[in-house]
């Protein structure tokens, strides 16, 4: 949904009434589905279309279902089996099956959550949609008038664990908050089963942030790559000659200062990934200690195996706990074999992305062979 906000804003600016925009959103996938849970297609009454739920093979059918939903005012879940022939038509290697929630109008809660997650200092949130009752989980039929209860209201879970609304049971509410906050942490929408209910948890995490300590050559490539992947970027260096706009024209924020001293200024915290690249103990270790103690989700630092061993020993002597030291990624990055600055940056960012989504970092070929 977040990737369609600019499109949505453009449609509104052109005079399209938000009430005339329906949507389809993938709520389940089975097999080699072309789009993940949370993928969205928008379809306006004037025929405008944006986004995708299948990569091309069922977009027309999904748009027709939005028209039907707009006509009768009822949401529904439709299952699409994508044949191998259809998959090849849109450039996919194999088919799959998707469950798509079709809504007659854009849900205001989801739109508001998407916009809020783009703002500075906001909280990420998950919008929870109880799916239409009927068939067993995974085989839902259309929610037509007279064939089921009225749709339950949506709920919202913020990343700090606050729940707006209730499933009617403290235990179910607790489990929903746990599932939603975990989905937010990983940035992945999903459908969960709780108390014989199917609940679509659509996540809108805040924009991920990468804090780079040390304005070295690798950092320049790292900032460029991170921006391409949607990260907000911050570069911190106490050396004015390294932290210049000329060296980092694309960075969101450039700070000359000691990393531990600017932590409060930048609001360093659990949503941040921190890459320490300065190769200077007086910069590196205060930055590492601060990032670990503030619970940053990823903390990595450059250095050889011996440098890392010596560093860990000094950190323990300085009072950093063994559990905190164990979270330090060092040597930083995945083993891609490259040594050029851009290749090193790619290796670092690959590890950050793998940590964010719980990826293993192993080749997909090996994963497929062991499945």
C-alpha gyration radius of the chain = 23
Concatenate the DSSP letters of all residues of 254-281 into one string.
EEES-TTTSHHHHT--TTEEEEE----H
Cα–Cα distance measured from residue 15 to residue 53, given in angstroms and rounded to the nearest whole number: 25
CA distance linking residue 60 with residue 121, whole number of Å: 39
CA pair distance 263, 231, nearest whole angstrom:
18
- What residues contact residue 317 under an 8 Å CB cut-off, 6+ apart? none
Q: For the segment 276-325, what is each residue's pLDDT rounded down to a tens digit?
A: 998 888 888 999 999 999 999 999 999 888 889 999 999 999 899 999 99
What's the rounded Cα separation, in Å, for the pair 138 and 142? Answer: 12
> CB–CB of 204/187 below 8 Å?
no
Categorize the per-residue pLDDT at 74 as very low, low, confident or very high, splitting at 50, 70 and 90: confident
Q: Which residue has the higher pLDDT, 116 or 146?
A: 116
Each residue's pLDDT tens digit, 33-61: 778 899 999 999 999 999 998 877 788 88
Question: Across the chain, what does the average pLDDT equal?
Answer: 86
Q: Does residue 348 surpass a pLDDT of 60?
A: yes
Output 216 or 357, whichever has higher pLDDT. 216
pLDDT-wise least confident of 48-57, 200-209, 316-325, 328-337: 48-57
Half-sphere exposure of 26 (CA within 13 A, CB side): 25
160 has pLDDT over 70: yes
| Secondary element (H or E) of residue 196 | none
What percent of the chain clears pLDDT 90, i.e. is strictly above it? Answer: 52
Give the model's pLDDT for residue 211.
Answer: 96
Q: Which helix (H) or strand (E) holds 337?
A: none
54-68, 74-88, 192-206, 268-282: range with lowest mean pLDDT: 74-88
**Domains identified in the chain and CATH numbers:** 2-204 (no CATH), 209-357 (3.40.50.720)
Residue 136 to residue 357: CA distance in whole angstroms: 29
Does residue 177 have a pLDDT over 90?
A: yes
Cβ-count burial of 224 within 10 angstroms (0-12 exposed, 13-18 middle, 19+ buried)? middle
């Amino acid at each position: 949904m977040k990737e369609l906000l600019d499109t949505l804003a453009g449609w509104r600016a052109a005079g399209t009434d938000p009430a005339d925009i329906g949507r389809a959103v993938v709520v389940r996938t089975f097999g080699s589905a072309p789009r993940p849970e949370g993928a969205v297609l928008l379809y306006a009454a004037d025929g405008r279309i944006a986004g995708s739920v299948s990569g091309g093979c069922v977009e027309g059918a999904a748009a027709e279902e939005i028209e039907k939903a707009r006509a009768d005012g009822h949401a529904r879940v439709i299952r699409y089996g994508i044949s191998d022939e259809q998959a090849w038509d849109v450039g996919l290697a194999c088919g799959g099956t998707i469950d798509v929630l079709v809504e007659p109008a854009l849900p205001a809660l989801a739109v508001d959550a998407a916009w809020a997650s783009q703002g500075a200092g906001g909280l990420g949130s998950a919008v929870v949609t109880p799916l239409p009752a009927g068939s067993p989980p995974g085989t839902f039929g259309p929610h037509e008038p007279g064939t089921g209860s009225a749709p339950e209201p949506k709920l919202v879970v913020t990343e700090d664990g606050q729940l707006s609304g209730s499933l009617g049971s403290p235990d179910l509410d607790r489990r929903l908050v746990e599932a939603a906050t975990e989905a937010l942490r990983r940035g992945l929408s999903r459908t969960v089963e709780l108390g014989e209910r199917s609940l679509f948890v659509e996540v809108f995490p805040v924009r991920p942030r990468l804090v780079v300590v040390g304005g070295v050559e690798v950092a320049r490539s790292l900032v460029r790559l991170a921006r391409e992947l949607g990260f907000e970027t911050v570069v911190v260096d106490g050396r004015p000659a390294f932290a210049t706009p000329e060296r980092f024209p694309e960075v969101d924020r450039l700070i000359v200062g000691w990393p531990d001293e600017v932590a409060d200024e930048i609001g360093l915290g659990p949503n941040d990934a921190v890459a320490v690249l300065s190769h200077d103990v007086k910069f590196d270790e205060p930055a590492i200690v601060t990032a670990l103690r503030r619970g940053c989700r990823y903390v990595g630092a450059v250095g050889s195996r011996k440098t890392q061993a010596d560093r860990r020993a000094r950190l323990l002597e300085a009072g950093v706990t063994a559990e905190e030291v164990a979270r330090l990624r060092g040597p930083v990055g995945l083993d891609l074999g490259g040594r050029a600055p851009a290749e090193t940056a790619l290796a670092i960012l690959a590890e950050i992305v793998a940590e964010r989504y719980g990826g293993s970092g192993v080749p997909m070929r090996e994963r497929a062979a062991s499945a």
